[in-house]
Structure 1
């Protein structure tokens, strides 16, 4: 119980601290660029035309809504985080209790010890089920969070309170409205998890000198590195999921001219891939001007 409470408190603290970053990231993902490009330098020292980064974007939001405005959507996001942590922990706890029952059962005294790879598959499968259950339960709060942020673009107040947002979504879109963008989000989480754990297993088994026999030892070596790599590869699923969550929801940021109306998440994926925008919002500091934008990037004029 104490461990669960500490996880909830830690997660809530990190959520509060990272809220302005997520706010800026979501607005960039939907293609909202209120600030003109500026002159910067790339890694080779050459002058380039680039879009303002995280801090300039955050200052722009604060100049309109104040510093408190940077925490728009925090309440449903906190609800999502707390509920997700509880559900995730309960599912894993259920599997642990099942293992104890099997270990105490008759005929298990001489049970063979599973191989390292079998253990990875077993642990990853359980983690996948736990994460998927948490995502499924908390996705309605995720949708409300995104829409609360995106309404900054059109200065609407459609999704302000948690209760009012729930009533609005149910009245206009029904139950399915709470699960907009769920499929690409689930796929991204599942693919990222399997990539992360599989790569970590391969690295620890074939690239490191010391052998790996348990999941905990594997995580201690390379979970962070492989997790970062896997998240980079699956970022397009995150982008598509967020776009579908706000697509055609009655907000300016989810409709033309800011965003086209997508018929499905596959249609959204194909259109982003065709435009070369699959990594939009992935970087918040060194942001080059997207191809095809009509910004004036004449260095002399900007200087």
Structure 2
């Protein structure tokens, strides 16, 4: 049940945040491996991206990749939040006095992030490629044309084999280890600190909401460069379209920094925050509330 609750929380939050994920993906692929002065700007920011995507591909294009995104949200969060909650319940994240141990919380948050990355990577690859596909007038990055999630799965398997579903898995696990450590540890620590100071004693939803706001800020700061790397590795494909652009996470980080500068590593920061902040808030609040309901029923 711990895993189901985590999955439902992630999938529910995805419906609301998917349009920002589409925009984030396009911004991160825009001007790939080109100096800023050489880049052709298709999207000038969040609101411009919303406008041009809706104009060129229709308003529904803002929900591109929703099916694999929901599978991703369920799979990733069922493993990540479920595993971390078990660690919390078993007391593995606490010290001898029963207070949260930052080191132990970081370890279990990172471990749950790595496991969720492995489980969810295939859905991430399909989602990113569908979200990147656009009308030629606004297309950025390599274009993969799939007729939905199942066609994407079949095409990737046929052309790239199982290896295609695990493109960028090292970067995924690294990003989720870092991101989960920042997100879940901050969430637990802030929630405990607020409780200790007597805040929101009778409002568990508000307690979870405030704690999630803090965790989302730290999460997006540490996660963005690795998220850019993820998007590039997912989207490059097998190399049949002109060779592999990147051989791995370090090669990708190095090439982006050399060609695009620090700016390149923080592409899509705005929409990523607007995706992570509500997604973190919604998923953690839903997760916390469902766990409270389950605990109440058990009692």
> TM-score normalized by structure 1?
0.65
Report 1:179-198 matches (<5 A).
179-195=166-182
The whole-number CA distance in structure 2 between the counterparts of 1:180 and 1:281 is 21
Please state if 1:235 is matched with 2:217.
Answer: no
Please state if 1:247 is matched with 2:236.
Answer: yes
Q: Which residue number in structure 1 is paired with residue 62 of structure 2?
A: 70
User: Residue 113 of structure 1: SS of its match in structure 2?
Assistant: coil
Report the CA distance between 1:158 and its aligned residue. Answer: 2.6
The answer to whether the 8 Å contact 2:109/2:184 transfers is no
* Corresponding residue pairs, total: 249
The whole-number CA distance in structure 2 between the counterparts of 1:225 and 1:113 is 26
The whole-number CA distance in structure 1 between the counterparts of 2:71 and 2:4 is 14
Q: Which residue number in structure 2 is paired with residue 121 of structure 1?
A: 103
Quote the RMSD (CA, aligned, Å).
4.2
Distance verdict in 2 for CA 1:84–1:198, change over 3 Å? closer
Where structure 1 has 5 or more consecutive residues not aligned to the other structure, the ranges are 37-50, 103-111, 286-303
Question: Which of these residues, 236, 247, 251, is aligned with residue 263 of structure 1?
Answer: 247
Larger radius of gyration: 1
Distance verdict in 2 for CA 1:159–1:229, change over 3 Å? same
Report the CA distance between 1:126 and its aligned residue. Answer: 2.6
Distance verdict in 2 for CA 1:192–1:80, change over 3 Å? closer
User: Residue 234 of structure 1: SS of its match in structure 2?
Assistant: helix
Distance verdict in 2 for CA 1:11–1:205, change over 3 Å? closer
**Structure 1 or 2: larger helix share?**
2
Report the CA distance between 1:145 and its aligned residue. Answer: 0.3
Q: Deviations over 1:19-65 (max 9, x none)?
A: 221111101100168756xxxxxxxxxxxxxx632122122111122
User: Residue 283 of structure 1: SS of its match in structure 2?
Assistant: helix
Report the CA distance between 1:271 and its aligned residue. Answer: 1.3
Distance verdict in 2 for CA 1:64–1:91, change over 3 Å? same
> TM-score normalized by structure 2?
0.66
Q: Deviations over 1:148-178 (max 9, x none)?
A: 1112127966322222211221222222211
